[in-house]
Amino acid sequence: MSVHRSLWLQEVDGDAPKAPPLSGRGRADVAIIGGGYVGLWTAIRIKQAQPACDVVILERDICGGGASGRNGGFVLSWWPKLASLARLVGPADAVRIARQSEAAIDEIRAFCVAHDIDADFRRGGWLWTATSAAQVGAWEGLLDACARAGVEPFRRIDRADVARMAGSPAHLAGVYDATAAVVQPAALVRGLRRHALQLGVRIHEGTTVHGFGRDRPIVVRAQRATLVADTLVIATNAWAAGIRELARSIAVISSDMIATPPIPERLAALGWHPDLCITDSQTMVDYYRVTRDGRVAFGKGGWTIAFGGRIGPAFDRSARRARDVEADFRRCYPSLVDVPVTHSWSGPIDRTPSSLPLIGHLAGRPHIVYGIGWSGNGVGPSLVGGRILASMALGTSDEWGRHPLIGRSAGRFPPEPIKFVGAHLVRAAVVTKERAEMRDERPPAWSVRLARLAPAGLEDK
């Protein structure tokens, strides 16, 4: 498979020799489809709990070839989703789950230290900002929800400090969450892969699963090979849209990133805090950070929508969308106008209506579990997901096996082609609205009304 790789995968051993594809007829206690963070954390937790359990990961590309090796590397908690969580599981469990997601950030750091994974973990916090007057105060509803819950994960930052921390006066206001961190995302996923192998997990890369039975034992079909397993874990992120029972649970949209050459002195002169995660408050969110060697890595969510969950090469890279992302970068950092863009890449996002993941048993079958729908915030939360999926796969009735997120759904999207057409209309409205707001103009009323139908984003606004 020849695909365009992210800057992050190019920096690590992303194209190192693959684990061999599945061949013939194999057997496993637990089969996991998908070798991203979710599949790997699940495999690792299963092995830690039951070392004798035979766990096999089937991955169509290389581990980390999906979103886990392409993302922005923001390690965020679920505090910004507190209100959505409360609607799903009630206020007390919402706080408990948000705390678990905050603890996951510490666990990732500890895991990297314990297993000698150089994932460039740096805890500089998350700055949630406004880069247009219309965005100012996007966080007020969430701050109210936090106050009602008696928690205070966000701190208000005054305008001068926001601009100073972000290194540009385009930032007008913001709030700060000190718990967040950045990582080199591909280094993290490749480190997880290495550790999974050390624990005895069997990995087959270059192995696309074409289908699986629903009865036990489960027959998983790949090219000219089958794997028979007692339990199946589906950890295929946006690709899960191709599974009949899950197709309407997620909408697949792209997220697109660009990167500059290393310019550490220029960024230091701007005062940009190099360990920060920064997002603005658009629905089609801008997210940006500094890499270890002083590049700007800048991304934007939402430009492309997949029909029927078909994820083609446009989800690996698009020159046109890279130009759109670059335009947002130039607007945020006008003083870096002369700095070229050296890398661009894309990846698929598995957006759910609430932007919270879906974890459950496929069509109620206890031996088939899934964890999808991370909605652009999966680097940190996938660790929580891995714990839950491992307990579900092993049938363990601990706090993870009885987790309140299991079996919860915040609604479904309409069937195709209505989903595809509707998503395009809503996206057109969001683009019209947000472009007008960036020019400090009043957006057309139709765009404001239609844009309200967009699924919630990274944050509850």
Ligand X SMILES: Cc1cc2nc3c(=O)[nH]c(=O)nc-3n(C[C@H](O)[C@H](O)[C@H](O)COP(=O)(O)OP(=O)(O)OC[C@H]3O[C@@H](n4cnc5c(N)ncnc54)[C@H](O)[C@@H]3O)c2cc1C
Residue 373, by phi and psi: left (phi above 0), alpha (psi -120 to 50) or beta?
left
Minimum CB distance to ligand X smaller for 95 or for 232: 232
- Output the smallest distance, CB 410 to ligand X, in A: 17
Taking CB under 6 A as the criterion, the residue among 209, 253, 325, 456 binding ligand X is 209
Taking CB under 6 A as the criterion, the residue among 237, 344, 352, 355 binding ligand X is 237
Q: Are 43 and 59 in contact (CB under 8 A)?
A: no
Minimum CB distance to ligand X smaller for 168 or for 382: 382
* CA gap 452, 455 in Å, rounded: 8
According to the binding rule CB under 6 A, does residue 35 interact with ligand X?
yes
Minimum CB distance to ligand X smaller for 21 or for 404: 21
Minimum CB distance to ligand X smaller for 66 or for 174: 66
Which residue stretch of 35-43, 77-85, 168-176, 407-415 sits at the interface with ligand X (rule: CB under 6 A)?
Answer: 35-43
Minimum CB distance to ligand X smaller for 71 or for 447: 71
Which residue stretch of 32-40, 114-122, 168-176, 414-422 sits at the interface with ligand X (rule: CB under 6 A)?
Answer: 32-40
Minimum CB distance to ligand X smaller for 287 or for 400: 287
Contact track, ligand X, 295-334, x by CB under 6 A: ----x-----------------------------------
Work out whether strand 202-204 and strand 55-58 pair parallel, antiparallel, or are unpaired.
Answer: parallel
- Output the smallest distance, CB 285 to ligand X, in A: 10
According to the binding rule CB under 6 A, does residue 19 interact with ligand X?
no
Phi and psi torsions of 267, nearest 5°? -70, -35
In degrees, to the nearest 5, what angle opens at C-alpha 341 toward C-alphas 132 and 327?
25
Which amino acid, one-letter code, is at 404? P
By the 10 Å C-beta count (0-12 exposed, 13-18 middle, 19+ buried), 314 is classed as: middle
According to the binding rule CB under 6 A, does residue 236 interact with ligand X?
yes
Total residues contacting ligand X (rule CB under 6 A)?
A: 41
> How many CB atoms sit inside 10 A of residue 210's CB?
10
According to the binding rule CB under 6 A, does residue 58 interact with ligand X?
yes
The helix (run of H) or strand (run of E) holding residue 371 is strand 368-372
Contact positions with ligand X (CB under 6 A) in 393-452: none
Contact positions with ligand X (CB under 6 A) in 149-208: 208
- Residue 182 tokens, joined: 């950045």
3-class SS of residue 36: coil
- Output the smallest distance, CB 281 to ligand X, in A: 16
Which amino acid, one-letter code, is at 93? D
According to the binding rule CB under 6 A, does residue 347 interact with ligand X?
yes
According to the binding rule CB under 6 A, does residue 253 interact with ligand X?
no
Q: Give bridge partners of residue 347 from the DSSP assignment.
A: 255
Contact track, ligand X, 59-78, x by CB under 6 A: xxx---xxxx-xxxxx-x--
Minimum CB distance to ligand X smaller for 88 or for 241: 241
Work out whether strand 55-58 and strand 24-33 pair parallel, antiparallel, or are unpaired.
Answer: parallel
- Output the smallest distance, CB 222 to ligand X, in A: 7
Contact positions with ligand X (CB under 6 A) in 376-395: 376-380, 382
DSSP labels, 142-209:
HHHHHHHHT---EEEE-HHHHHHHHTSTT--EEEEETT-EE--HHHHHHHHHHHHHHTT-EEE-S--E
In degrees, to the nearest 5, what angle opens at C-alpha 50 toward C-alphas 44 and 53?
85
- Output the smallest distance, CB 59 to ligand X, in A: 5
Query: Which of 79, 85, 225 is closest to 154 using CA atoms?
Result: 79
Minimum CB distance to ligand X smaller for 33 or for 138: 33
Contact positions toward ligand X, by CB under 6 A? Answer: 33-39, 58-61, 65-68, 70-74, 76, 208-209, 235-237, 239, 255, 257, 287, 299, 347-349, 374, 376-380, 382
